[in-house]
Amino acid sequence: MERYEVKLSGSGGQGLILAGMILAEAAALYDGKNAVQTQSYGPESRGGSSSSIVIISNQDIDYPKATKVDVLLALTQESVNKYAGDIKDGGILIVDEETVKDIPAGKYKIYKLPVIATARTQVGKVIVANIVALGLIAGLIELVSIDAIKKALFTRIPKGTEELNFRALEAGINLAKEAHLTVDPNLECISY
Amino acid sequence: MERYEVKLSGSGGQGLILAGMILAEAAALYDGKNAVQTQSYGPESRGGSSSSIVIISNQDIDYPKATKVDVLLALTQESVNKYAGDIKDGGILIVDEETVKDIPAGKYKIYKLPVIATARTQVGKVIVANIVALGLIAGLIELVSIDAIKKALFTRIPKGTEELNFRALEAGINLAKEAHLTVDPNLECISY
């Protein structure tokens, strides 16, 4: 693995910056890799879209270099519209099936999955959709170990919320397992 | 103000990433500016140096562009050694007077101030040195309003720690006021 980029996007209150930090810290502090994590804020981010980029590499990261992302997670229609063009050919687009109705055409694999619904119904709190998404990404891309994600998660969440967050992470990992079953490697651009 | 870059550096446990996030969120969410905040993690960041860059602008920020910083805060000797070369000519270097003994020569203004000692003795907790530093930077550069910093701080800190953190912020702002008194604008490169 030379350099792997993940972009997490959605609305301002969905906790995607925290999810990005946990992914970056898992990779760097517990899996021995290098990581850079960036978030952009505009005046619009109060209610509008929010995004976080995590770059993970076994080597030094020469950050100030515009590249395309390997994986885009989009939890809102606005964010998929805005960022789908940033995905590499052959990359992965993960969208929430409840909030994203229209997916822009592109040469990427598409996972349309119930991220928010899983947080709400399986875990019981829609606020942990970010951690469900983190488990999902960790399970899908197998870039950072689950053990490292758990350690990083533990240090970043408020005391007393561990059980809730760990359940959200597990629910996301399970979502990735089910998603794997439906992958058809012969198709270049397909919805799952 | 076209584009203003601040780099916060120190050791891994000093909370400088949080301070950078608060500065970026204050500028973007409450002061109507644009902001990008980036942190780099390496395997060494467990014990070693940590850094966070905040870019603030009234205009869109074209981030992937390597530039020099306007302000460097360094809370350890290692971080000042590593990053002093990143400061623009005429920029500002702020170092903790307790931990930084040797300051590399350069064309920047130097503030040598008791950041950590202020957290420990005036506020009573060395762990809030990051928030003292935030108040100090806000006071020195007057780039983001104190009101915006307070709002952003409030949303980012754990409940129950508000009073401690607000005292730390005020202590940092006061440190900036005292530092201002000693500035000699006729000198290009001087220690305060």
**Tell me: the pLDDT tens digits for B140-175?**
988 899 999 999 999 989 889 999 999 999 999 999
Helix axes B146-156, B16-25, angle to 10 degrees: 120
Residue B28 in this model has a pLDDT that exceeds 50: yes
* Bridge partner residues of B10 (DSSP): B50
Tell me which DSSP letter residue A53 carries.
E
Q: Is residue B105 part of a domain?
A: yes
CB environment B105-131: b (16+ within 10 A), e (fewer): ebebbbbbbbbbbbbbebbeeebbbbb
Instruction: For strands A34-41 and A49-57, give the pairing.
Output: antiparallel
The answer to whether residue B150 is domain-embedded is yes
pLDDT surpasses 60 at A188? no
Question: Alpha-carbon dihedral of residues A60, A64, A66, A71, nearest 10 degrees?
Answer: 50
Q: Is residue A192 part of a domain?
A: no
Helix/strand/coil percent split, chain A, to 5 = 45, 25, 30
Q: What percent of chain A is predicted at pLDDT more than 70?
A: 88
Min Cα separation B142/chain A (Å): 19
Task: Confirm whether A188 is domain-assigned.
Answer: no
- Flag the least confident range among A14-23, A49-58, A179-188: A179-188
CB–CB contacts below 8 A, A to B: 77
Query: Considering chain B, what is the average pLDDT of its residues?
Result: 88
pLDDT tens digit sequence for B160-169? 999 999 999 9
pLDDT in tens, A91-121: 999 999 999 999 998 999 999 999 999 999 9
Position B31 in a domain: yes
User: Are B58 and B33 contacting, i.e. CB atoms less than 8 angstroms apart?
Assistant: yes
Contact A36/B33, CB-based, under 8 Å? Answer: no
Q: For chain A, list residues whose CB is within 8 angstroms of any CB belonging to chain B.
A: 17, 21, 24-25, 27-29, 32-43, 45-46, 61, 63-66, 158
Residue A65 is inside which H or E element, if any?
none
Rounded Cα gap, residues A117 and A75, in angstroms: 11
Q: Chain B contacts of A64, Cβ < 8 Å? A: 63-66
What is the value of ipTM here, to two decimals?
0.76
- Its domain, for residue A74, covers 4-181
A62 Cβ contact list (under 8 Å, min separation 6): none
CB contact under 8 A, A63 and B65: no
Q: Model confidence at A160, in pLDDT bands (50, 70, 90)?
A: very high
The band of A49, judged by pLDDT with boundaries at 50, 70 and 90, is confident
> A72: domain CATH number?
3.40.920.10
B43 and A29: CB-CB below 8 Å? yes
Provide the domain count of chain A.
1
Query: Which residues does B contribute to its contact with A (CB < 8 Å)?
Result: 17, 21, 24-25, 27-29, 32-43, 45-46, 61, 63-66, 158
Are A130 and A16 spatial neighbours (Cβ–Cβ below 8 Å)?
yes
* Contact assignment for A39 to B27 by CB distance below 8 Å: no
Give the per-residue pLDDT at B67. 76
Q: Is residue A189 part of a domain?
A: no
What is the predicted pLDDT for the residue at A31? 92
Q: Compute the distance between CA of residue A105 and CA of residue B17 in angstroms, rounded to an integer.
A: 37
> Quick check: is A43 in a domain?
yes
Q: Examine residue B170 and state whether it is found in any structural domain, yes or no.
A: yes
Q: Summarize pLDDT for B75-87 with one digit per residue, the tens.
A: 999 999 989 999 9
Q: How far apart are CA B162 and CA A79, in angstroms?
A: 33
Assign A187 a pLDDT band (cuts: 50, 70, 90). very low
Q: Using an 8 Å Cβ cutoff, are B3 and B130 in contact?
A: no
Token couple for B92: 């500002």
